[in-house]
Each structure stands twice: as structure tokens, then as C-alpha cells.
Amino acid sequence: MSSSAVSFAAQNHLRFLDELKAFLRVPSISTLPEHKADCRRAADLLAAELKRIGMENVRLVETEGHPLVYADWLHAAGNTGGPAARSSSAGWKPTVLFYGHYDVQPPDPLEEWISPPFEPTERNGNLYARGAVDDKGQVWAQVKALESLLAAAGALPLNVRILFEGEEEVGGEGIAAFVASKPPGLKADFALISDTELFAPGLPTLCVGLRGMIYTEIEVRGARTDLHSGMYGGAAPNPFVALTQMLARLKDEDGRILIPGFYDGIIPPSTEELAAWRSLPFDEEHYRITEVGSSKLVGEPGYTVLERTWARPSLDVHGIPGGFTGAGAKTVIPAKALAKVSMRLVPGMAPAKSFALYKSYVEKIAPDGVEVDVRLIHSGDPCLVPVDNPYIQAATRALREVWGRDTVFIRSGGSIPIVGDFARHLGLPSVMMGFGLPDDNLHAPNEKFNLKNFELGIVSLIRFLEEAGK
């Protein structure tokens, strides 16, 4: 761990942290139209920083939504990437494609934050802010690893391309379209993604699988207009009642999804993978108390919590907006009702097929008297990344050195839609090396990034790039 880049990072740690705070003060909430300009400000800030540290060809790539940030540094040998270059030139160095996202989730409910979401605050060894760990803090760790390498050696140990996006939290349509067009400027040998977690504090972790998802809306319409519930109640259809009846038929009491054919084709984890999961330090009761905080855990009988969240699909209702929700009472039969419903998908499931099965089931179970519209908002494929490549090996060597322990391979229940696209369109294996913790409150009030993990994350990334460039 004695590289000069590592020393540079140690000497500059306080400045790195101050800069991260400035990045976190920009409320780049991708889903809220009133924060469109803030998203661009976050992209501009990143681009300016990439220029300052010596990255080249820094530019914003416009999309239909928030811009991508591209940069590269291609002065290691064999600078175009790909197996052809590898076989034909001595001293060949691989090309890595960095990925992360500068957008964040909305901070509500605001009253539950101990310090305001966009005023980053240090408290008991953590930095609290929206985006602290998901994903601005981890993007900053990537940028600071590159800065340290460039500052200490004047060069990088391998070729680097960077593609940061600002729409990950809303489905990532812009980057998906860009990557699907296979731009020659994204030619690389592997992707490096810091947007995942350590399985436990101090335990170096590589994430090798993510669930996919379909995010949908069900709209139910009854009467032509809102009606007096005394004059019409009993004769006019109520869209909220119809909607909740339908929602209640999506899952049974055991948490099994009732959509016919939904589970067809699922590829279960191998016995080796299941055995590895069983040896992870995980206690379901501890998880229930410390992370979930409910009186019981739910879900399909016969599967452990790790299997339920990593290797089985799930279905959740996120909100049912509409009707009367103000203080007091209003006797109305609303004309329409809406529900936001998403499903997580696992290997063997395809978003288009899952959505088609779901839509036809929902249409079939719609009660009399209402019209139903089932819409897809966004979707992403599940993914499993190959682990039998030199980049994963280099990563485990670097992580063992930095953390003093062997790396565990885990999956995550969350989704990062672009990872599947990197594999499909660019042929890239992904190294998902992230430094969050299970209790970092992603998407929730009091999101945090452990300061030690920020620091060791930067060192891990530096040492990984040095190993991968050997």
C-alpha cells in the first residue's frame, strides 16, 4: 500500500472531503423537473473537476434528459482497448470505463433528517447528506483516485474512459440509448462501477449480480367526474376500491406473486453460490431489528432473506396518489385512482415479457365498471457478471491488501440498469466495487457515507487500477 498515489490521497484527504461536500450541496434530484438546472450544475461541476485533475476530452453528452459526463485519458500503451490490441502490441494496457451517477433521490420526508439533506454534515464518523453514498460520494472517490494517480505519477497505469450519468435514479434512458448506439469512444476492456455496498463493515466486497426491474403505473377510471358519495355511493364504481382489490390479487399471503407465468424461466443460483451465501456473516434476526425494524420479516417460505432479496423476484407498491388526502373529511367518490407498482426481476426474466404478463393479468382481474390503464415507466435487465477474468482477480488482490481480508462475492437486490447494457452492447464485464454499508440509508432520510469507507474506497480504487495496469 506504499504507492505514491496512496500517499497523495492521504495528504489531501481533508481537501477531498471538502470538495465532496460542495458536490453534495447541489440538489441534483433527477426526478423533479424543478431541479433540472441543478442536475446540469452537478454535471458541470464534475466536468470542471475532471479537467482540473488532467483528464482529457472532457465534455457533456446531451441526452433527452440530464447530460452525461464523458472524459478520457488514453496514453497508456495500446490505447483503444479490445482483444485485437492486446494480441498485437507488447506493453499493452487495458482500458477501463468508469461509471457512476451524479443524480440523487428526492430527500422527503424532510422532517426526519437530523441535519438538512443538502447541507452535508459530519457526525460520528459519517458524512450525512442526500447522495453521500448513492452515488456522489462514490463518484467522488473514483475521481479522487484518478487525481491521486495523475498527481503522483503524471500518468495513469492504464487507459481510462469515464461515463457518468444523471438519470440513474429515474431509469437511465439517456445513457441506455447512448450505449446502445455503440459509440467507438466507449471502447474498453471492462467497466468499473462504484455504486454498491460492502456486505459488512470492514469486509471487502465485490457485487456480481443485480436484480432488474419494471416500474409501472396502474390507472383506474370509474365515473365521468368526481361524485357525491352519499348521492351515488352504492351505485357508482369506486376506482380506489377497484384498485386495491386488484393490488390485493398481485401477491398471496406468503408473498408469492400471482401473475401467471411470472416465475417461468428463472435461473436459480448454483449450489456453490448458495453455499457461499450461507457462509456470509448474516443473521436474519439482527437484520430484522437493525435494518428493517418491523415485527416480522415476510416473503416466500423456503428461501433465506438473501435468496429472497438477491435471487427471487419481488413486487412492491410505492404509492397510491389521488382522491382526497387532505386534513378532515370530504365525501367524494373520486373519478380516478393511480398506483405506482414495481417488480424486481432476476436472471432468466426479461422486462418486456414480465410486463406483458403483468399487464394482461391486471386487465383480466379488473372489476366491472372501471377502465384500467397499465403503463410501463422504465425497465432494466437483471445481470450477473463473469468473475473469471483478470480484472476481478486484480480487484481481489488490491482489496486484500487494503482491507487485510479476503473479498466476498455478493449479489444485490437493487438495480443499476446500465450494467446489463455494458455487457450486451459493449461486451464489457463489470467490476462492481462499492463502499456503502447496508445501514447507509440509501433513498431514505439521513443517508450517510462512512468517512473511513470514503478514505479506504479511494485507496482501494487506486490500488486496483495499479494492479489492473500491471
| Residues with active-site annotation | 103, 168
Q: Which of 72, 165, 189, 195 binds ligand BES (CB under 6 A)?
A: 195
Give whichever of 210 and 259 is closer to ligand BES, judged by the CB atom: 210
Nearer to Mn ion, 361 or 449 (CB): 449
Min dist. Cβ of residue 220 to Mn ion (A): 29
Task: Give the range of 61-69, 128-136, 269-277, 332-340 binding Mn ion by CB under 5 A.
Answer: 128-136
The window from 49-57, 126-134, 297-305, 398-406 that contacts Mn ion (CB under 5 A) reads 126-134
Select the residue interacting with ligand BES from 67, 94, 117, 380 (CB under 6 A): 380
Q: Please report, as residue ranges, which positions from 131 to 190 form the binding site for Mn ion (by CB under 5 A).
A: 134-135
Query: Does residue 333 bind ligand BES (CB under 6 A)?
Result: no
Does residue 165 touch ligand BES according to CB under 6 A? no
Using rule CB under 6 A, residue 212 touches ligand BES: no
Q: Compute the least distance from the CB of residue 213 to ligand BES, in Å.
A: 6
Q: Which is nearer to ligand BES, 417 or 469 (CB)?
A: 417
Cα–chain-centroid distance for residue 373?
28
Q: Which three cell numbers stand for residue 323?
A: 382522491
Provide, rounded to whole angstroms, the least separation between the CB of residue 28 and Mn ion. Answer: 12
CB closer to Mn ion out of 38 and 135: 135
Of these, 103, 195, 307, 447, which contacts Mn ion (CB under 5 A)?
195
How far lies 406's CA from each of 203, 294, 335, 450, in Å?
A: 8, 33, 58, 21
Q: Are strands 205-210 and 121-123 parallel, antiparallel or unpaired?
A: unpaired
Which one of Mn ion, ligand BES, none is in contact with 415 (Cβ closer than 5 to 8 A by kind)? ligand BES
Q: Within 13 A of 344's CA, how many CA atoms are on the CB side?
A: 19
Whole-angstrom Cα distance, residue 431 to residue 386?
A: 9
Structural Rg of the chain based on CA atoms: 24
Q: Does residue 417 bind ligand BES (CB under 6 A)?
A: yes
Kindly state the smallest distance separating residue 113's Cβ from Mn ion, in Å. Answer: 17
Show contacts with ligand BES in window 422-451 (CB under 6 A).
442
Give the CA count within 13 Å in the CB-facing half-sphere of 432: 30
Instruction: Report the residue number, 17 or 198, with the smaller CB distance to ligand BES.
Output: 198
Residue 197 in contact with ligand BES, rule: CB under 6 A? yes
Options 1-9, 242-250, 303-311, 413-421: segment touching ligand BES (CB under 6 A): 413-421
- Choices 110-118, 164-172, 236-244, 293-301; region in contact with ligand BES by CB under 6 A: 164-172
How many chain residues are in contact with Mn ion, going by CB under 5 A? 3
CB of 169 to ligand BES, least distance (A): 5
Nearest distance, CB of residue 168 and ligand BES, angstroms: 5
| Residue 213 contact, options Mn ion, ligand BES, none, Cβ 5-8 Å cut-off depending on partner type | ligand BES
| Positions in the binding site for ligand BES (CB under 6 A) | 134-135, 168-169, 171, 195-197, 213, 380, 412, 414-417, 442
| Positions in the binding site for Mn ion (CB under 5 A) | 134-135, 195
